[in-house]
Structure 1
């Protein structure tokens, strides 16, 4: 089995994964809340949040207050929904679709049988996963994404559930942002630490 590539991109450190998990679990969050939950310094939290915003995973907004005082900065997960959409994520989805169309014109055999909307979803998903250090292999028939070998295989076993949940939520956000029938369903139980397969499914409305 090939060795896993190092994790890279905006969620390459477990501290950022932890912050993203907290924001995904409940939005919005403040810097003070994130400091209390992680034990990290405010400046460190700010640096991590900036990377996550630049990656399109978190949205920053200003609190609306009816009382005196400086409004707080709030941080929410970018889920791809209309009210939780990141401009960075939108641009990435559009760019992935353009590159995918170019590739399919040059190599028609790479086109998916799932339809244009699902194809664009897969374009965005593949690019997002590659940015994070994965080597995704898509099975259109079984609707699976094989991410073996997982770049996070060497993580502590107690950290794996959070890592898997964060990545599954990110994948669902990318698919939602791209718009189409595919959803990220669950991560299959691995037989060995380096193994990772994500199950997709067609949304009930599409079926």
Structure 2
């Protein structure tokens, strides 16, 4: 087994645009702040802001604590930027190895690992999507915008939508590429479910028909279709 498989790269963690914005807000705020404040200052959905904050904590770029009990109500979880990288415990990280082990476990232990991954992905897609108000009607353009925002927030690099004749979203970066190459059924199914869940949460007039992985070494294609056709195809 290669050294790269056993340990994650030792380079500083890559911070995407939305996560970098969250980190900038933390660094500019002298006191620890909660998820709601970060969401308000960045314009992100609260669940997306929490996702980025917890990832920054995992990467050693932020610190998480529970607010003191001097205030009424349930104590809040609050965040602040890490004072310096020297406060991050030394030692290698092995999340890539952990991901390999867990996806292997899913593949071995579940009778239908691909469908289980789709279901889990849908739950996370609903969680990360920016839910519209009950009276707001989401058209195709807005639905695609919200979906690409979710994809960008979790580390994909969605490109401009192609029409041929149904919309196709090119994904030019897979944040789990190394794991997906070995466990495509689980990881790509998870991503398919993520997109389906996000579109369902925003009550989109379209769904994700299929995900075409690795049509090029760094390119996957998400094929969208009108929601009525998508439901009919899945129940046929």
TM-score range, shorter chain: 0.3 to 0.5
TM-score norm. by structure 2 comes to: 0.42
Larger radius of gyration: 2
Higher helix share: 2
User: What TM-score do you get using the length of structure 1 for normalisation?
Assistant: 0.47
